[in-house]
Amino acid sequence: MKARVHIFYKDSVFDPQGNTVGESLSKMGFSKVKKVRVGRVIDLEMEYPSKEEAKRDVVKMCEKLLANPVIESFKYEILE
């Protein structure tokens, strides 16, 4: 079983990397791009007897280590 975790800065947090990418895209002629947020993806390979247990532990992993709850939000998906 695999899990994919997506982590981004919260909307209220300035994203300097996203801002730089957005400015660069604009300079390259992609003026229709109005906002860029850069995040990260973490893939986990796991062995759990059920999806429910995997979901529970992925949330705990995110809350305790993978994401900083003060400035980041996360979403995840369990992959077969």
Do 39 and 6 meet the contact criterion of CB atoms below 8 Å apart?
yes
Do 71 and 9 meet the contact criterion of CB atoms below 8 Å apart?
yes
pLDDT of residue 80: 78
Do 19 and 36 meet the contact criterion of CB atoms below 8 Å apart?
yes
pTM of the model as a whole: 0.85
Residue 18 has pLDDT above 90, yes or no: yes
* Confidence bin at 3 (pLDDT 50/70/90): very high
In terms of residues, how long is the chain? 80
- Gyration radius of the chain over CA positions: 16
Integer Cα distance of 80 and 48 in angstroms:
11
What distance lies between CA 13 and its chain's CA centroid? 14
Q: Which two tokens stand for residue 60?
A: 């705990």
CATH class of residue range 2-79 = alpha beta
Domain ranges of the chain: 2-79
